[in-house]
A and B are shown apart, each in its own frame.
Chain A
Amino acid sequence: KAGVTQTPRYLIKTRGQQVTLSCSPISGHRSVSWYQQTPGQGLQFLFEYFSETQRNKGNFPGRFSGRQFSNSRSEMNVSTLELGDSALYLCASSRDNGANYGYTFGSGTRLTVV
């Protein structure tokens, strides 16, 4: 079966711009979580969506937002980009609760803010 698909793979944006990243989970998986990975902070939890509802949210500013569609595909948006937003953004899907059963991750979107 197809894995978790994230698009685009690479992105370069300018400070102040906004960006939208996309994630298509494994078919049948209703939970989608987003993580930010940087060399300094490691993997930081952004938010989780389940059946189109945000179920959990990490400690990120309001510039980071997301949504999930009826087909479980998810998008995350970062507005007013800052240099510190440069990171690998990872999407992870699970059937129900990845914290209890494990996640399948996508290959990530590498965002560079210049």
Chain B
Amino acid sequence: SQQGEEDPQALSIQEGENATMNCSYKTSINNLQWYRQNSGRGLVHLILIRSNEREKHSGRLRVTLDTSKKSSSLLITASRAADTASYFCATDGGSQGNLIFGKGTKLSVKP
């Protein structure tokens, strides 16, 4: 079952613009993670934010977490064509102790 739901499902922007993706989840969590997947490849871990954190930065990435609304957002600033990929949020709310992934946002950055 999906825990996280990303929004939008697809996003197309120009190079240099900012990209914002949102994630909503259903159960309480200890942490939320964001991953990137280039077409047909494995996932790359981007950032992990714990439930007691509200905001976290890593390079051009900024992640926020609002546990009261059960939502998170990923902001990519000054996007590049190389940022074209699918982005997934994942929470540790799995009943089997696993990560549960959303269905992802497909980001296309046009040069």
Contact = CB atoms under 8 A, between A and B. Distances in A.
Interface of A: 4, 6, 33, 35, 42-43, 45, 48, 55-58, 88, 90, 92, 97-108, 110
Interface in B74-111: 88, 92, 94, 96-104
A42 B48 contact: no
A44 to B, nearest CB: 8
For the complex, would chain A's binding face be called helix, strand, loop or mixed by DSSP majority?
Answer: strand
Contacts, number: 63
Interface of B: 2, 30-31, 33, 35, 40-45, 48, 88, 92, 94, 96-104
A48 B94 CA distance: 12
A88 B106 CA distance: 17
Nearest to A88: B40
For the complex, would chain B's binding face be called helix, strand, loop or mixed by DSSP majority?
Answer: loop
A48 B42 contact: no
Nearest to A39: B103
Contacts of A99: 31, 92, 94, 97-99
B2 A56 contact: no
Contact of B97 (A4, A55, A108): A55
Contacts of B33: 102
